[in-house]
A and B are shown apart, each in its own frame.
Chain A
Amino acid sequence: MDLSTFFIQTLNAVQYGLLLFLVAAGLTLIFGIMGVINLAHGSFYMMGSYLAFAISPVVSESFGGGLISTLIIGVLIAIVIGYILEWLFYSYLYERDHLQQVLMTYGLILVIEEIRSILVGDDVHGVPIPQWLSASIQLSDVMTYPVYRLFISGVCILLAIAMFLILSKTKLGMMIRAGSVNREMIQSLGVNIKFLYRIVFAMGIAIAALAGMVAAPVSSVYPGMGQGVLIICFVIVVIGGIGSIKGAFIASLLIGFIDTFGKVLLPEVAGVLVYIFMAMILLWKPSGLFKAGS
């Protein structure tokens, strides 16, 4: 593999890893802070994509907005949905054991998929890339790299930085980090746990939905798109350490590389590589790479 191909593949790996990070970050927060295994997390990624598909024509017709407005409105809608879901459904899961959480969120996946089928149907949809992002950069004499993919990576990095700043520099972040380490303690210290949970949940969902929205133009919008993302994200969370954002970040990038280069160098075992990697990490560090709250 020559240098320019290697460089391009690296870009691919980073972009894929960063996108996974957005989804995995929400998952690890929900997992770490509230102790809830949320199998339905992939469905929120899907929800984001369908939101992008559904509201982008409305946005452009009603006030001529483009991608950015679509994203903002989409995120707001996702936050509202996340808030309602937490209140209606997830708040009942905190006290239950993991098996029940797994099964109830599995049931939720089925429900969400069917509701989507009823509301939007089962066709595959495309979301157009906005004009100002549709150029491509010439990287070699034959291949160009789409600017939009760089945009995706950019958005992910921005969000990662924002998350890092919120978690380490703000009071809310401090509460979140403390809560992921010891829930009862912060409750007894007077923090309004219900409100905190709701915020974290809504944020987690919103980030996953944002990932779906941003990825929609390049990945198409189709039924079942959440399932593939879900399992990989669980692997990332487990490798990185439940409740650790830093762990999720590093694990996402690692998985992005293993998957991308695996597909190119060893296509037949590419699918298995990720799981072998996870098994190896867990044997070395049974609780993942990093501790909760980091």
Chain B
Amino acid sequence: MKQIKLSLIALTISVASGSVFAQSQPPLKVGMMLPYSGTFAALGNAIDNGFQLYVKEQGGKLAGREITYIKVDDESEPSKATDNINKLIKRDNVDVVIGTVHSGVAMAMAKVAKESGTTLIIPNAGADAITGPMCAKNIFRSSFTNGQPGIAMGEVAAKKGYKTAMTVTWKYAAGEESVKGFKEGFEKGGGKVTKELTLPFPGVEFQALLTEVAAAKPDVVYSFFAGGGAVKFVKDYAAAGLNKTIPLVGPGFLTDGTLEAQGEAAQGMLTALHYGDNLNIKRDNDFRLAYAKQYKLQPDVYAVQGYDAAQMLAVGLNATKGDISKKDEFAKAVRVAKIDSPRGVFTISRAHNPVQDFYLRQVVGKENKIIGVASKSLSDPARGCNMQ
């Protein structure tokens, strides 16, 4: 009896010490700062889902380190952004921050991350400044810059033979940068943007602007709106009868996640985005199946961006064997990586932004069907970034 007891104790001790030794590194704390409430809540949740799906597929560990999450709802409020990210970095001592959707919030986050050196991966916010003057070796983006979809759409519009265009958007960084991108692509192809209409964010009284469009009669209208604004604008545009004579185009955000609400009004619209609904590559099919099984929802571009943020984190962690403090090696590894994303394979620019294909999509029914490639391997200009 005594012998059995002794050996049992010995067994327990060795197993316990074995597991202590096996756990060579503590868990990696990932701070998720996303809009879990408010107009962008669906986007925040999609990003969260996508990120966690990838980690789950790797068994809950990246580079041998278990991933634990600390979530903060940023409410898409730039005024609270600094406080929120400080909470994650200084109070909760996270190793990595993932976020966010709203560019204003992301800008505040980038500033704090740049100063503190904490690794930040941005799964949506496309503000040019973040991979421009604010670029840093510890800041990465898995989504796009605001100008990219615009450039792609501009090139397509010029190729289609449109000569004059008007733009309509909110007067904020994302809108202005998107329009600037369109102008660049369109005018390079021989077109001319005759007037740029704006209204203050987040206003949705478009009637006055639509009347102006009707009076000026351009060949095409490019507009950027997201969320509720996108729904209303597309509907108003159709209600004013403009969609019959002046085609409306825009970046994919105009029609992503909004088709249910837009219904008839959006049919036939052309948009450019780095993702679409019938890509039909194996990586995407597997991803969509896994996502639907896990969350009982269809994934969208935001989910893909979250998924890819996790992939980028994994690439860096694998290169540094799980040591998040080795910022230079982390950055170098990500810089040369080829990320096998559901959107296709993409690489990273010197400012840490994806270099990717932009697809041309058309709204058919409740889907954004990919009908071609708008722009191949589009990089971002990264103006003002002095990283190599």
B-contacting residues of A (Cβ < 8 Å)?
1-2, 4-5, 8-9, 12, 15-16, 117, 121-126, 128, 136, 138, 140, 142-146, 148-149, 218-220, 222-224, 228, 259-261, 263-264, 267, 270-271
Contacts and interface: CB of A to CB of B under 8 A. Distances in A.
A90 B37 CA distance: 29
A148 to B, nearest CB: 7
Given A123-B41, A144-B241, A220 B211 contact: no
Contacts of A146: 239-240
Contacts of B204: 219-220
A220 B205 contact: no
A223 B40 CA distance: 10
A3 B203 CA distance: 26
18 contacts: A5-B214, A5-B215, A12-B208, A16-B207, A124-B261, A126-B262, A136-B241, A142-B215, A143-B240, A143-B241, A218-B236, A220-B261, A260-B208, A263-B199, A263-B208, A263-B209, A264-B212, A267-B198
Contacts of B235: 126, 218, 220
Interface stretch (B103-111, B226-234, B326-334): B226-234
In order of increasing CB-CB distance, the 4 nearest A-B pairs are A144-B241, A143-B214, A126-B261, A124-B228
Contacts of B207: 12, 15-16, 149, 260
Interface string B202-225: 111101111110110100000000
Interface size of B as a range: 35 or more
Contact of B211 (A5, A122, A270): A5
B175 to A, nearest CB: 13
B42 A148 contact: no
Contacts of A128: 263
Given A142-B214, A144-B240, A263-B209, A124 B227 contact: yes
B262 A12 contact: no
Contacts of A259: 205
A122 B263 contact: no
Most buried by B among A9, A122, A261: A122
Contacts of A143: 210-211, 214-215, 240-242
Given A140-B214, A142-B242, A264-B211, A122 B236 contact: no
B104 to A, nearest CB: 16
B200 interface: yes
A225 B38 CA distance: 11
B240 A126 contact: no
B79 to A, nearest CB: 15
A27 to B, nearest CB: 20
